[in-house]
Structure 1
Amino acid sequence: MRFGSAYGLFVAVVALCLLTQEAHAYVDPGRSSVVQQIMASGVTGLLVALRNFFGGLFGKSPSKTDEAGKDTDAKGRH
């Protein structure tokens, strides 16, 4: 890990600890948390689908293949 990223993370955690305020609300453990999870997973799925679509549109594929179209591993073996 680089020093700059560790320092930035430390500053962010300290800032969050020092700048918190008392909250007068809560997330209902029932229906609303399920709806929030569905929305978050939908947004994540949409982002992955868009990445795959635009990657394929511009010639980048999510999986590594050689010229013959066969799947290869990280070292180029079949």
Structure 2
Amino acid sequence: MSEEKDLFQIKSCGGRKEADEIKKLLEQNDISAEVKEREKDFVVLVPNSEDIVNEALVIITSQEVYDEFYAGE
């Protein structure tokens, strides 16, 4: 992924570790992703394709729900 204009910001993270975990999760599901450091946070970027963005959002949301459910036990 070379040009940032061809990328979509899928997630803003408070730290590098969280961003790297999301990048790894997406790559395990065959979605290329990259992490960029911004002034106050880190962002995860994916190719700007409607199908890829939608799939990435489902993967991230599913993981967040899973984590919240099992954190409560």
The question of a shared fold, defined as TM-score above 0.5 by the shorter chain, is answered with no
Which of the pair has the greater relative contact order for Cα pairs under 8 Å at 6+ separation? Answer: 2
State the TM-score, normalized to the length of structure 1.
0.34
From the two aligned structures, give the one with the greater strand fraction: 2
- Report the structure number with the largest CA radius of gyration: 1
State the TM-score, normalized to the length of structure 2.
0.36
